[in-house]
């Protein structure tokens, strides 16, 4: 987190002029950071359903028209195929280039987000906390116990407590700011905020194809959520959450 004090005045300045003023690591020839956090040696990985096997279909116009924030969910389970589809729709890779071509746009193709999942009701998965690996299209286990999963209910403010308690899955997007800083310097935080919106909107639209509801959440306790997904809160920190569940 190099650029903590950039101002709105700087963001309003001419983009090209402003860009040239900053000696970013990219301009210095420093190798770009990895596009995905590595798993620890011995971590258990879980295969997801491959995109070629997705059969979900909905007219784009209907998905856009029906999209809304839904805070009430049934006790129904998502299937592993449905979860795989939601993950691919929000951060999946659509060709062999692991950095550039994903299902969502990102400033300078930096894709600064890691996707964490608090899973309660997904068939064939134990309740717990997981991380999505878009390059491999797999899940990595952070904690595979129900007690950790239930902590999300107390990590958000009261206004969101009901949907947190009833969601089948809670998506947590955590930013690794240096991925964007490496290229964009002080513009990074503006770009990261924009990228978060791209990701969550894709989740809303994809959920319409599986009869699921989504509600984005920005009111949460930062340290509690960072602790839940086991990140430092400095070099990586939660930015945006979304609850997902089946709807009647």
What average pLDDT is seen over the chain?
A: 89
**Cβ neighbours of residue 36 closer than 8 Å, sequence gap 6 or more:** 98, 114, 133, 134, 135
Q: What is the pLDDT of residue 70?
A: 94
DSSP class of residue 31 equals P
Which residues are bridge partners to 69 per DSSP?
214
Residues 24, 29, 33, CA angle at the centre, nearest 5°? 75
Average pLDDT over residues 114-121: 97
Q: What is the pLDDT of residues 9-47, one digit of tens each?
A: 444 445 555 555 678 898 888 999 999 999 887 788 999
* Domain range summary for the chain, segments of one domain joined by +: 8-37+46-246
CA dihedral 22, 111, 237, 152 (to 10 degrees): 160
The yes-or-no verdict on residue 100 having pLDDT over 80 is no
The SS3 call for residue 5 is coil
Predicted pLDDT of residue 6 = 42
- If you count DSSP H runs as helices and E runs as strands, how many of each does the chain have, helices first? 9, 7
- The pLDDT of 83-97, averaged and rounded, is 90
Question: pTM score, two decimals?
Answer: 0.90
Pairing of strands 113-119, 128-133: antiparallel
For residue 146, is pLDDT > 70? yes
pLDDT for 3: 47
Q: Is residue 191 very low, low, confident or very high in pLDDT (cuts 50, 70, 90)?
A: very high
Residue 13: its pLDDT value, please? 44
- Pairing state between β 212-217 and 128-133: unpaired
CATH value of 8-37+46-246 in 3.30.420.40, 3.40.109.10, 3.30.70.100, 3.30.360.10: 3.40.109.10
Q: Pick from 196, 193, 247: which is nearest to 68 by CA?
A: 247
- pLDDT recorded at residue 154: 86
Rounded Cα distance between 37 and 50, Å, is: 21
What is the tens place of the pLDDT at every residue in 121-141?
A: 999 999 999 999 999 999 999
Position with higher pLDDT, 60 vs 11: 60
């Amino acid at each position: 987190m190099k650029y903590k004090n950039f101002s709105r005045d700087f963001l309003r300045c001419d983009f090209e002029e402003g860009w040239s003023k900053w000696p970013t690591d990219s301009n210095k020839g420093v190798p770009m950071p990895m596009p995905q956090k590595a798993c620890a040696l011995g971590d258990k990985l879980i295969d997801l359903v491959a995109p070629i096997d997705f059969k979900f279909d909905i007219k784009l116009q209907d998905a856009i028209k029906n999209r809304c924030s839904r805070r009430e969910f049934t006790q129904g389970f998502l299937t592993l195929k449905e979860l795989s589809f939601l993950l691919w729709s929000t951060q999946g890779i659509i060709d062999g280039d692991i950095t550039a071509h994903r299902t969502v746009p990102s400033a300078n193709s930096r894709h600064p987000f890691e996707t964490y999942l608090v899973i309660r009701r997904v068939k064939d998965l134990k309740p717990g906390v997981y991380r999505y690996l878009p390059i491999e299209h797999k899940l990595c286990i952070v904690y595979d116990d129900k007690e950790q999963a239930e902590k999300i209910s107390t990590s958000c403010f009261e206004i969101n407590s009901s949907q947190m308690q009833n969601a089948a899955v809670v998506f947590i997007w955590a930013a690794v700011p240096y991925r964007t800083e490496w290229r964009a310097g002080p513009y990074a935080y503006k770009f990261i905020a924009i990228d978060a919106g791209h990701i969550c909107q894709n989740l809303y639209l994809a959920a319409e194809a599986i009869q699921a509801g989504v509600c984005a959440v920005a009111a949460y306790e930062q340290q509690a959520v960072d602790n839940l997904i086991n990140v430092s809160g400095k070099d990586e920190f939660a930015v945006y959450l979304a609850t997902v569940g089946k709807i009647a």
